[in-house]
Amino acid sequence: MARPAIHAARMVKSVIDTQQEMVLAQPVVAVAPSNVHRAWAVPMVVVAFVALLGILLSTVVAASKFPSIKRPYAIVPAGAEQVESRLSLEHVKRYPSKGELLFVTIREPELPLLAWLMFWGVHHEKDIEPLTYKDVYGDGTPQQLQSRGRRQMVSAKQAAEYAALTKLGFPIKLQPGAIVIDQIICYKASADGSTCEQEAPSAKVLKADDELVSVDGVDIKVVDDLTPVLDKHKPGDTVEVKYKRPGVDGVQTGTIELVVSPDDPKRTLIGFYPFDTSTIGNVPFPINIDTEGIGGPSAGLAFALTLIDELTPGELTGGQRIAVTGTIDINGKVGAIGGLAQKASAVRQTGTKYFIVPASQSPESLAAARAVAEGDVEIIPVATLDEALAVLTRLGGNGNDLGQPGKDFQATG
């Protein structure tokens, strides 16, 4: 299912490797070049030099034409991989399935400027989306984005476990955690993206890993406690905050100017991204999901469905291979993700016929994914875990016959 250009590249490499083996197998004989060859040498060098000069000039022109492009990137398909091989369960009976649930990944490689310009405006390459540095990292830095992605993945795994086990009736509890500062909101990153040059005013008081204790005189124990306090204020107001800092004794106090949310102009924020410290308690058996090479929370729904499939008899997928993407929260709500068109391309290249995606994607995102699929993959939006199970039932699975096996659960081993 790969494009002809990919096949051609592989064929060229194969031919080159074969030719090298044939050449090395023959005796090496030194032969002086003929006069004809010498005559052609100079023009060929000139042509090569002119071509190189043209490339350099085009790069300069392109850079002047697109001065806002600091470092060009692109979203490209990566792959679709089964979740089951990454899942480890102990002291509980597993039910192997013939079918497969796949999670889907994309890459955001940095491209040379000329390669970026080749993709820009080329409509037939529907599965490649050129991006600027700001498109990828916003106003933050790569380090900040990677850190947030790793922490989001931890939260996604816990949410998937909680949603799946709750659905099946297993005893499990969610224990809300304190508000810990993940990152201060960054308004402007340095030119090379390595540092933040302009942070929210909260940076004058708070730092990463600080634990928030109170805001505007109100004790804050969990993230939800912040909303009613901030709803009473508008951006530009100042509030007193109390916090604990690792390695520093006692509770610290400071005054912070509130800011508007970068994502929602109607929301007022303190100026930081919180780290969800909620934990799952009373887990009936050990669960481990290997997330090596996966960034962000977009595989959450795939994790939850795979857990349900492994913990119940029968075929949740009807014995088929089905791709899944979307975040999931503890209540089973499915959230939107990025790079849907590129993920649809990755699914298509595996020969998979069905792709379950978040219903909360924009109409443009869903249309782009269907365009890439070209009718070979059915794009199926869902809003909740229950809707995903209903879809799997329509496709031949047993999503409506799961029951509550966890109610009478007794650990094995």
Express each pLDDT in 54-82 by its tens digit.
Answer: 655 554 444 444 444 444 555 555 677 77
- Checking if the pLDDT of 12 tops 50, the result is no
d(CA 146, CA 159): 20
pTM over 0.85: no
237 pLDDT more than 70: yes
Count CA within 13 A, CB hemisphere, residue 110: 9
Block residue for tokens 């009807």:
318
**Beta-sheet strands, E only, within 173-278:** 173-175, 179-184, 186-189, 196-199, 211-215, 218-219, 238-244, 252-257, 259-260, 268-269, 272-276
Query: ∠113-367-123 over CA atoms, to 5°?
Result: 35
| Per-residue pLDDT reduced to its tens digit, 382-413 | 999 999 999 999 999 998 888 888 888 877 76
> Residues 254-303: pLDDT tens digits?
999 999 988 778 889 999 988 767 777 778 888 888 877 666 678 889 99
Domain with 147, as residue range(s), is: 78-172+283-398
More confident site: 188 or 78? 188
Residue where a domain stops, chosen among 276, 302, 323: 276
Calculate the average pLDDT of the chain: 77
Nearest CA to 178 among 218, 229, 213? 213
Q: Within a domain: residue 19?
A: no
Q: What is the CATH number of the domain that holds 131?
A: 3.30.230
> Is 40 a member of any domain?
no
DSSP symbols for 102-155: EEEEEE--B--HHHHHHHTT-TT-TT-EEE-HHHHHTTS-HHHHHHHHHHHHHH
Please give the residue that has the higher pLDDT: either 112 or 291: 291
Query: 244 and 364 share a domain?
Result: no
Residue 379 domain flag? yes
User: Does residue 264 sit in the same domain as residue 296?
Assistant: no
Number of structural domains found in the chain: 2
Note whether 240 and 336 are same-domain residues.
Answer: no
**134 and 165 assigned to the same domain:** yes
> What is the reported pLDDT for 282?
78
Contact 352, 102 (CB under 8 A): yes
Residues 144 and 113 in one domain: yes
What's the mean pLDDT in 120-134?
55
Q: Are residues 372 and 228 in the same domain?
A: no
pLDDT of residue 1: 36
User: Does one domain contain both 156 and 190?
Assistant: no
